[in-house]
Chains A and B, each alone.
Chain A
């Protein structure tokens, strides 16, 4: 057990830090063109998809190097790259299950953000119970004909391509009739509407498919094997880079400590109020534990262990912690924590931020409510932890009972 950074890691961090100091844009990026140019710069510097094998455009970077880049990006207040979900989910899916032609066609353009990607998984009636999805992809000749609706698709309004889970066999048990298909979002019949979230911003979308025709060659893996494919890659979305989440939290809490020196509570600076101090000490301690736990995960990844069901503990931890931290920040700041327009600069997380824009205490507070829902809600994570980490018996589920009743009724009597 040795928790110090190696000299190589320290040198790498210095190089990343120096590069960012030189290259982080000074102006806020507004147009997609500017965002793509910044992304391309990061890619050329070797900071995008760096953990991927070289043959797919990565750098074979170690998990520690990826974590350092993530942490330093936050520290330098660098704008995030594009295609985050695509790099985390789509590329591993293609590498593990795609054809050679799919790999050649899609991976490079995704990495360089020449093409933007979204994920098309959830539906209005298939959230936590994703396998009950109803969006259909009927094989007609050499084409899939897609009909149905998807929802919570981050960035679908800007995406060129989508990774779709659709039902290809309506007679099979629900986990066995799903396929994974690559969809050109510019195909006729694809309609995208943005959804306005409680934060006031519009990142999530709904996507409607009406007789959308997709060539069969866009199928990933075997027909009807989509559920297994999604399972292997969903865990990449969980518990991945928690160190950069720590870095972001540290930035907020450090700013909070500064604000507490200025903000008056009961006639004295908030930082001198013993009740406020207790809360600040608590939040700082909880944040440090997130760092320690992140280092522990990172050290396992460094040993070549893949993120298993334990990544659910990390996901549960950081998303629930974020809610506690944001609540506590608003406790300490009183009504200022909810103020966007007109908040004095010396009390703001970042000055000059509008409603619905990142950079206000309020915006961070509201977004903390999403973290315990997306990528598997806290309740789903607790099921995974209970059943796959602790080995508790599976719950009695109405759909399993129904499947057993159906199979018993059909006379095969299979268990």
Chain B
């Protein structure tokens, strides 16, 4: 039983912190807020070439586990890093790995690992549902091709990645049966990409309209009609990964608040001397430390294939959703008026955390999952 990071994990955290603070200062983050693509390709390539990737070494990845991915993402949340790392590696990459499709892995992963290929996963449609029932974008066989029709919304970096992994339905109306993963290049005829303007300007998303988009059959990733299990795994890793990123945003907001409470004076004393502020900061630390425990327990459980891995992932997302909301929000309260200005950086974290809160399952979705797992007895054995 050891909950502390290994030396390698501590080094990885140091590497990421150094790289991001040097290469991705807040001036860059703010520049990307106004950039229609939303990220700098060169920076993205350098980031990926650090080798901080979960993919096997034969494809050029670092074979990192989920604990290491969480460390990387927590550091990104502290910036907050603007770019398609999450969409490429955690969403699309996890789905490709989980599909078990070695042909697709050989086709996409090497380019992902050297930074030449950015990807994303198109999942949500008009309604908000994180189960297979929410998928209705249709997929139909036409000769050697598949034809795609439908709408995807809130696709991370859908306007500026190279290839979109689309979750589509081949026959049927509900359930996991028929769900397939199809890779669609962003320049495919019939695909209309409409950038969305969202609260968090550092996380670009787009609406994708598929109107008779034709892709060759070889673009299907995994088995035709049997793609749901891979999607589910990718969404679970995304839930834990998003939790890690939110944890980073929350811890950074707390640190800024503590620093501020030590220098800001009102009524002739530092505001950190007032219990109203001191106690709030203590509560924020409790939330952050519990969020840390939840994120890294879940990451370990996924890596170890623990019997409570599904439970732990949902515990993590539902816990961090609430913790990040409170910590990033209270940080603004501790700062007062300055925290409400565009110029001050707190809103970047507040918005990044809020951006991730409803994605890959909101609090209510994951609480329901927690209960289902508990009732089914898929919990940690004490032995």
Q: Is A140 an interface residue (CB 8 A)?
A: no
Assess whether B285 is in contact with A390, with CB atoms less than 8 Å apart: yes
Q: Is A285 an interface residue (CB 8 A)?
A: yes
Stretch at the interface among B120-128, B162-170, B181-189, B290-298: B290-298
Q: How far is B371's CA from A29's CA once the two chains are assembled, in angstroms?
A: 36
**Contact mask for chain A residues 263-297; partner B; CB cutoff 8 A; 1 contact, 0 none:** 00000000100000110111011101101110110
Given A3-B3, A317-B286, A393-B272, residue A280 in contact with residue B300 (CB < 8 A): no
Given A285-B367, A299-B2, residue A396 in contact with residue B272 (CB < 8 A): no
Given A298-B1, A302-B2, residue A382 in contact with residue B272 (CB < 8 A): no
Assess whether A386 is in contact with B278, with CB atoms less than 8 Å apart: yes
A contact residues around B364 at 8 Å (CB) = 278
Q: Is B340 an interface residue (CB 8 A)?
A: no
Q: Is A251 an interface residue (CB 8 A)?
A: no
Task: Give the contact-size bracket for chain B.
Answer: 35 or more
Q: How far is B296's CA from A75's CA once the two chains are assembled, in angstroms?
A: 26
B contact residues around A395 at 8 Å (CB) = 273-275, 278
- Shortest Cβ distance from residue B66 to the other chain A in the assembled complex, whole angstroms: 11
The 8 Å CB contact of B319, one of A285, A382, A392, is A285
Q: Is B289 an interface residue (CB 8 A)?
A: yes
Q: Is B119 an interface residue (CB 8 A)?
A: no
- Shortest Cβ distance from residue A168 to the other chain B in the assembled complex, whole angstroms: 31
Q: Is B283 an interface residue (CB 8 A)?
A: yes
A contact residues around B293 at 8 Å (CB) = 289, 292-293, 295-296
The 8 Å CB contact of B315, one of A288, A298, A386, is A288
Assess whether A292 is in contact with B375, with CB atoms less than 8 Å apart: no
Given A1-B9, A313-B285, A390-B258, residue A293 in contact with residue B290 (CB < 8 A): yes
Assess whether A386 is in contact with B367, with CB atoms less than 8 Å apart: no
Q: Is A385 an interface residue (CB 8 A)?
A: yes
- Shortest Cβ distance from residue A289 to the other chain B in the assembled complex, whole angstroms: 5
Which residues of A in the span 1-42 have a Cβ within 8 Å of any Cβ on B? 1-6, 9-10, 13-14
Assess whether B1 is in contact with A64, with CB atoms less than 8 Å apart: yes
CB-CB nearest in chain B for A316: B286
A contact residues around B285 at 8 Å (CB) = 313, 385, 389-390
Total contacts A-B at CB 8 Å? 160
Q: How far is B370's CA from A288's CA once the two chains are assembled, in angstroms?
A: 10
Q: How far is B370's CA from A285's CA once the two chains are assembled, in angstroms?
A: 7
Q: How far is B2's CA from A24's CA once the two chains are assembled, in angstroms?
A: 31
B contact residues around A379 at 8 Å (CB) = 275, 279
- Shortest Cβ distance from residue A71 to the other chain B in the assembled complex, whole angstroms: 6
Q: Is B23 an interface residue (CB 8 A)?
A: no
Q: How far is B269's CA from A282's CA once the two chains are assembled, in angstroms?
A: 40
Q: How far is B295's CA from A195's CA once the two chains are assembled, in angstroms?
A: 44
A contact residues around B319 at 8 Å (CB) = 285-286, 289
B contact residues around A383 at 8 Å (CB) = 275, 278-279, 282
Chain B CB within 10 Å, residue with most, of A298, A313, A391 = A313
B contact residues around A5 at 8 Å (CB) = 1, 383
Assess whether B297 is in contact with A292, with CB atoms less than 8 Å apart: yes
Q: How far is B209's CA from A186's CA once the two chains are assembled, in angstroms?
A: 85
- Shortest Cβ distance from residue A260 to the other chain B in the assembled complex, whole angstroms: 10
Assess whether B1 is in contact with A392, with CB atoms less than 8 Å apart: no
Q: Is B262 an interface residue (CB 8 A)?
A: yes
CB-CB nearest in chain A for B290: A289
Assess whether B367 is in contact with A278, with CB atoms less than 8 Å apart: yes
Assess whether B368 is in contact with A277, with CB atoms less than 8 Å apart: yes
Q: How far is B318's CA from A278's CA once the two chains are assembled, in angstroms?
A: 11
Q: How far is B2's CA from A2's CA once the two chains are assembled, in angstroms?
A: 5
Q: How far is B290's CA from A396's CA once the two chains are assembled, in angstroms?
A: 30
Chain B CB within 10 Å, residue with most, of A281, A282, A293 = A281
Assess whether B370 is in contact with A392, with CB atoms less than 8 Å apart: no
Q: How far is B315's CA from A292's CA once the two chains are assembled, in angstroms?
A: 10
B contact residues around A386 at 8 Å (CB) = 272, 278-279, 281-282
Q: Is B198 an interface residue (CB 8 A)?
A: no
Q: A284-B371, A316-B286 are in contact. List 4 more A-B contacts (CB 8 A).
A: A1-B296, A3-B306, A280-B371, A285-B315
Which 6 A-B pairs have CB atoms at the shortest separation, nearest pair first? A281-B367, A386-B278, A392-B272, A385-B282, A382-B282, A281-B371
A residues with CB within 8 A of B:
1-6, 9-10, 13-14, 64, 71-72, 75, 257, 271, 277-278, 280-282, 284-286, 288-289, 291-293, 295-296, 298-300, 302-303, 313, 316-317, 379, 381-383, 385-387, 389-396
6 CB-based A-B contacts, threshold 8 Å: A280-B371, A285-B367, A303-B2, A379-B279, A389-B282, A393-B273
B residues with CB within 8 A of A:
1-6, 9, 67, 258, 261-262, 269-270, 272-275, 278-279, 281-283, 285-286, 289-290, 293-294, 296-297, 300-301, 304, 306, 311-312, 314-315, 318-319, 364, 366-371, 374-375, 380, 382-383
